[in-house]
Structure 1
Amino acid sequence: MDREEEPTALYIVAFDPAAENDGTLGGADAMKLRPGLYLVRTAASQSRLYHSVKRQARPNSLFVGRLDGDPKFKGMAEGALRWLRQE
């Protein structure tokens, strides 16, 4: 029997920009909106994503919140809306 693929969730991740490294966020599908602010699409739990970013970036402050739907935004990085609409 094949295991079903875990459903993906959309998260907003914010942390102090000084802590950024290469912006990969633990290999998750991430879109950098601006320094220190990302949209992340992953099958990982909120806790797993939080701890992954915490270990990788070592920020002084960190916020990870699950989004219930697509956010509205203006003035973010080029390609952010296109990234959000792809799946």
Structure 2
Amino acid sequence: MNVYLAWTSEPPDDLEGPWTEARPIAPGLLLLESTETLSVVYHALKWSLSDEASLIVSPVDRTPKSRGMAPGTMSWLRDRTSRQGEPPAGW
């Protein structure tokens, strides 16, 4: 399973897509869990936005440092990513 971090300048019309979970963690910021590639996830999210919306999607293979995210965000990430110096989950 892959984890992706996505930022959009506007909320998506629909969070249905090629992911098993879409987790809003802050305004415009989403975590997406999917078996699909970065390209497939990016395009599915892009098609749910208006043509004027900004979008960036990046894979997350290590547990990042953060603060001020929605409750449970770090636990969710720790369950799906590796910690610094450890191989990614599933290796």
Question: Where on the TM-score scale, by shorter chain, does this alignment land: which range?
Answer: 0.7 to 0.9
Distance 1:61 1:25 in 2: 19
What code does the residue aligned with 1:64 have? V
TM-score, length-scaled by structure 2: 0.71
Sequence identity, in percent?
32
* Structure 1: 4+ residue segments shifted above 4 A: none
**Which structure has the higher relative contact order (CA within 8 Å, separation 6+)?**
1
The CA deviation string for residues 10-34 of structure 1, in whole angstroms up to 9 with x for no partner, is 11101113x3335x25262122111
Could you tell me which runs of 5 or more consecutive residues in structure 2 were left unpaired when the two chains were aligned: 81-91
The CA deviation string for residues 31-80 of structure 1, in whole angstroms up to 9 with x for no partner, is 21112101111111100000100112336110011123111111111121
Could you tell me which runs of 5 or more consecutive residues in structure 1 were left unpaired when the two chains were aligned: 1-7
From 64, 68, 73, the equivalent of 1:71 is 64
| Larger helix percent | 1
Distance 1:14 1:73 in 2: 15
